[in-house]
Amino acid sequence: MSVEAIATALIAAAILTSMPLMLAAVGEAIAERAGLLNLGIEGSMLCAGFASFWLTLKTDSVTLGLLIGAAVGLAIGLVFGTLATVLNANQVVLGLGVTLAGTGGTAFLFREVYGSDQPLLSGGPGRPFEGWFDWLPVIGPAIGDQRWFVFVAWFMVLAGHLFLVRTPSGLQLRAAGESPFGLEAVGGNVTMVRIGAAAIGGVFYGFGGAALAVVELGFFSPGSTAGAGFLAVALAMLGRLSPLRVALFTLAFGLLTGLDIGLQIAGVDARPEFLRMLPYAGIVIGLVALGRGVRMPRALGQAYGGISSRR
Amino acid sequence: MNAVPVTSGERTRHDTPGADTALASLLESLLAIALAIAIAGLILIIAGHDPLNVFSQLVDRTLLRSAGLEEVLVRTTPLLLAGLAVLIAAKAGLWNIGVDGQVLVGAIAAAVVGAWLVDASRPVLWAGAMLAAIVGGAVWTIVPALLRAFWEINEIVTTIMFNYIAISMTAWLVKGPLRDQTLVAPQTPLIPPELRFVGLGDTRVHIGLVFAVAIWIAASFWLHRSVAGLEVRAVGESPRAARHAMIPVTVVLAVALVASGGLAGVVGGNDVLSTKGTFQAEWYPGYGLSAFALVFLARRHVLALLPAALFLGMLAYGADVMPRAAGIHSAFFALFEGILLIVLAAFRWRPWRRKSGGHR
Amino acid sequence: MNPQSLCSNKPATWWRALVPFCLLASGMGLAPNYGLAEETTVDRVAIVTPASRTNQGWDQQGVDNLVEVGETLDIEVEVVEDAGYDDITPILNDLASDGTDLIVCHASGYQTVCPEFAQESGIPVVVIENPGAVMDDLIADIETQAQEASFLAGVVAGLETRSGTVAVVVSGEPPTWNYMTVGFAEGLHSVNPEATLIYQVIGEAAYDDAPNAKRVTESAIAAGADVVFGMGDGASFGMIQAINEHNQDLEPEEQVWFIDVIGDKSGSDAGQHLLTSVLFDYRGAYTELIQQLREGSFGEIHTMNLENDGVRLLEFAAFADPDTVETVDAVRVQIVDGDIVVSAIGDADGLRERLDELFPH
């Protein structure tokens, strides 16, 4: 097989596998902009993935599956946002709780519903642009032959970015994270804005988890997110909470992850465990190189108790 | 800055409680458990199981049988230490989510040094292995600690990344240079049972529990009675105020996180020297998230860590026996711990606390 | 005859010297027969597996085979799955307290903890891939010479590949699988030395990591492999899904085919892409073990190999070439007769060396 074809295949794989991660990371970036640190993405993605898998299996419709995944993500996001703002819940603990509950819960439910079986989805969403970009060497087919949801995901990322930087609501959202007192002083409602941000983030995680199950994998199994939720937090930070930058870093991460497979195929004799360390070490190095002195929203992770609580 | 406060605005006088707030904390913890049980019970009903049967079986098998009770104590030991590790970091305002990775590195270090000392006397072997465990866990935390202390790079992310790196690295080590060539499945050379932690009397409970309790007592004293402990807590409550008080905040942060890592390493050493006797390639006990549940169940009070650890130890052993006893998959207990964490997190809003201070 | 009768009330002093001897003799007569073969009743057997039988592979095959043997011999079988690799001693103790007569420890990762338990509790156990641990009446071992059967699988792959590229995808490197990888490579080399072999490890103990299994398999297919020999347990579903998606709307000649291990997935969704499988059949070994325990000769090494049908190839798919079937049968005879010797390499480094020798790049 030609080097070109293998390269195309690896790039295509990287694009596909980074897509759910991209959605989760961008969702987290948006939520963090409003001051919410959500470590429960892993749990949300698993719940959304399970729900979407279940519904797609029942109805044979990937679209319905994706939608219910987004709905589940939205619901969990709302719960998280409400608890974090109205009840001033400790966000880190809340997030870890959601992750633990989501991981255990989906594993438990999966066994309850499917027992010893591992059903597989056949088909999957179509590829509407197949062959359109073949004129562009190597990268062209890798992009063009993707399933339609990949393009939807990219559109969502772009929309998220434009929302944050171009719309008044986006400005309010950023203010809620940067200067909540300032927002309240001009008449905004920090609580509602944050809950809204959590909801938007939830929709992103929901789509991400659903896409992982019904678009990328074609099935759901307990633990299939494999740490994607935590990686999303890392990538959001690396991209300094800007949706476009986050998306770029996610793609780079996807390529780096595919590198270990590519090297193995090429017959490079490095032990696979070494190669598997690379993406994670890469993130740490990236944080050192790019993350120093980066200003996160001043109110990240802090509960907001109203102007009267200012110390 | 990149730091995410552990206290998140909560008033800090709750850390050293007077008698009435201690009682209130205990009641809150019990209430949280009760609420979690209720929610979990509801889920069981929806799934078609009988929650009364499940919970009664759980209590019976873990607490009402001597074999069960012994196992609970065995499980409590690593959990107590892991909770201590998380708590030390939390007191300095840091989140150590890398406990799992630090446990792995500490464990493999202890296994290797322990096997190397197999001809020495037992106390020497224990001391050497545990020292290696502490160093292993601490070394694994140095990079995240320095990045956090000096460059304010969020330790949540770095410690999580180091978890994944630890998994790959220890796997490479145990399959390659550190492998016992006489056995087929990859593990480090075995530390024979007679050289491991002795059992207490006739039971399965081993001396590791005694060590863990001793460390816990020592840590409590250190935290609340020493200058260093005071500095750690001061930095945790308000880094700015601590700086004004001439406390070297960066040093304290780095030392606290590394100490936390060292304690996590001890967990790994404990497991290797007691039940496992070796480091195996596919071992991943995953104490990290349970440690968080532990710390917040104990309302971040170091003295409450032991009862909280006992409770979680009971859940841990329960998860092992319940599949056979009641047909409940062990993942259900992870779900339960998660629900407990969510409830505990939400317990920031406590209207009954309005009078004893705090702005809410 | 009662030894005591020798020591009746004789007045002479020198007889008293015989008293200790008499006591010793009587003691021997009354004490239990350590070291001498003894019949044991076996009513209850348990099996402990690290993962769940849902993976339709390693864990399932052990469980299903033992359950079947239990039904035939009228023995109660207790299954403990998802035991993981943490300390399983409490589980073993739990089984012991329930009156289990024999415990099968179905994972190479249990190779040290189960012998320790047996020696402490006195309950016989069966371990795998640890011949050094066998002990009379207490510890037996099962060795699986799967490399012989996977040699045959390699022959099949070598004959059936159209593109000349074959992939081996594994979700870990436990000894049992390493044996098979090496055997497969040697079989492939024996009929198709010019072939390209891609060897991919998915991750660390990634037995349930279906997502990564799918990605790795997709890459292998992209690199040109059209026969995939997959060892994954739960992860195999990822591999199968990758092949499933690739094969949509393709003719059988253009499709990618899958060779499975241990279990028999031909009845499931996965069956349509299954070329064959290296089947592990524990029933013979389990039956022999239980009988030996009953008769008192327990504590041996049991080998599952091509000759005793402990490992064998599953019946080929309909789309396989009939000539292949004949060739494979002939090769099988050669192996059983000893004309072909398949290397037995269980460690990962040795495996890579051997693969490099056979298929240098």
Chain A interface includes C208 (CB < 8 A): yes
Of residues C60, C245, C361, nearest to A218 (C-beta): C245
Question: B78 pLDDT band (50/70/90 cuts)?
Answer: very high
**Helix (DSSP H) and strand (DSSP E) numbers for chain A:** 12, 0
Instruction: Name chain A contacts of C209, Cβ cutoff 8 Å.
Output: 226
Residue B67: φ, ψ to 5°? -65, -40
Q: Give per-residue pLDDT as tens, B223-254.
A: 999 999 999 999 988 888 888 988 899 999 99
As averages over each run of 10 residues, the pLDDT of chain A (311 residues) reads: 75 88 95 91 95 92 93 95 88 92 92 80 78 79 85 93 91 87 85 93 95 89 84 90 92 84 70 79 86 64 57 39
Given a contact cutoff of 8 angstroms between Cβ atoms, the answer to whether B76 and B265 are in contact is no
Contact across the interface for C175 and B329, Cβ inside 8 Å: no
Examine the pLDDT at B23 and tell me if it is beyond 70. yes
Examine the pLDDT at B198 and tell me if it is beyond 60. yes
Chosen from C56, C61, C168, C216 to mutate, greatest number of chain A CBs within 10 A:
C216
3-state helix/strand/coil string of A87-152: CCCCHHHHHHHHHHHHHHHHHHHHHHHHCCCCCCCCCCCCCCCCCCCCCCCCHHHHHHCCCHHHHH
Block residue for tokens 């749990």: A43
Q: How do the domains of chain A map onto residue ranges?
A: 3-116+163-302
Looking at per-residue pLDDT, the higher value among A111 and B268 belongs to B268
User: In angstroms, rounded to a whole number, what is the distance separating the alpha carbons of residues A47 and A41?
Assistant: 10
Q: Looking at the complex, report in whole angstroms how far the Cα of residue B173 sits from the nearest Cα belonging to chain A.
A: 9
Cβ contacts of B123-128, under 8 Å, gap ≥ 24: B125/B191, B125/B195, B126/B197, B126/B273
Chosen from C52, C77, C87, C111 to mutate, greatest number of chain B CBs within 10 A:
C87
Contact across the interface for C204 and B167, Cβ inside 8 Å: yes
Of residues C82, C97, C175, nearest to B67 (C-beta): C97
Contact across the interface for A303 and B8, Cβ inside 8 Å: yes
Query: Residues in chain C with pLDDT < 50?
Result: 1-36
pLDDT of residue B11: 41
Instruction: Name chain C contacts of B283, Cβ cutoff 8 Å.
Output: 85-86
Given a contact cutoff of 8 angstroms between Cβ atoms, the answer to whether B61 and B325 are in contact is yes
Contact across the interface for B184 and C89, Cβ inside 8 Å: no
Examine the pLDDT at B2 and tell me if it is beyond 70. no
Q: Give per-residue pLDDT as tens, A118-130.
A: 787 877 788 887 7
Residue A19: φ, ψ to 5°? -60, -50
Examine the pLDDT at B16 and tell me if it is beyond 60. no
Q: Give per-residue pLDDT as tens, C28-70.
A: 444 444 444 567 788 899 999 988 776 677 888 899 999 999 9
| ipTM of the complex model | 0.87
C311-313 and C274-280 as β-strands: parallel, antiparallel, unpaired?
antiparallel
CB within 8 A of A263, min separation 6: which ones? A270, A275
Chain B interface includes A310 (CB < 8 A): no
pLDDT of residue B162: 94
Of residues B95, B176, B345, nearest to A89 (C-beta): B345
Chains interfacing with C (3 or more CB pairs < 8 Å): A, B
Q: Looking at the complex, report in whole angstroms how far the Cα of residue A62 sits from the nearest Cα belonging to chain B.
A: 26
Contact across the interface for C109 and B282, Cβ inside 8 Å: yes
Angle at B296 between CA B295 and CA B297, to 5 degrees: 95
B187 DSSP β-pair partners: B280
- Give kind and range of the element (H or E) at residue C261: strand C257-262
How many residues are given for chain A?
311
User: DSSP states of B102-120 as a string?
Assistant: HHHHHHHHHHHHHHHTTTS
Tell me the one-letter amino acid at C219.
S
For residue C144, give the nearest of C124, C161, C129 by alpha carbon: C129
pLDDT of residue C266: 72
Instruction: Name chain B contacts of C51, Cβ cutoff 8 Å.
Output: none
Q: Which residue is closest to B324 within chain C, CA to CA? A: C80
Contact across the interface for C214 and A218, Cβ inside 8 Å: yes
Alpha helix segments (H runs only) across chain B: 19-46, 51-63, 66-91, 99-116, 122-151, 155-175, 208-225, 227-237, 239-244, 249-271, 288-297, 305-326, 331-346
CB within 8 A of A292, min separation 6: which ones? B151, B152, B153
Given a contact cutoff of 8 angstroms between Cβ atoms, the answer to whether C248 and C267 are in contact is no
For residue A211, give the nearest of A144, A154, A262 by alpha carbon: A154
Question: B41 pLDDT band (50/70/90 cuts)?
Answer: very high
Which positions 237-276 of B are in contact with C (Cβ < 8 Å)?
A: 271, 275-276
User: In angstroms, rounded to a whole number, what is the distance separating the alpha carbons of residues A97 and A99?
Assistant: 5
pLDDT of residue A289: 84
C262 DSSP β-pair partners: C279
Instruction: Name chain B contacts of C82, Cβ cutoff 8 Å.
Output: 323, 329-330
Examine the pLDDT at B257 and tell me if it is beyond 90. yes
Chain A interface includes C210 (CB < 8 A): yes
Chosen from C218, C248, C352 to mutate, greatest number of chain A CBs within 10 A:
C218
Per CATH, domain A3-116+163-302 is 1.10.357: no
Q: What is the mean pLDDT of chain B?
A: 86
Contact across the interface for A6 and C203, Cβ inside 8 Å: no
pTM beyond 0.90: no
pLDDT of residue B3: 60
pLDDT of residue A248: 94
The token pair at B165 is: 């790196």
User: In angstroms, rounded to a whole number, what is the distance separating the alpha carbons of residues B208 and B192?
Assistant: 16
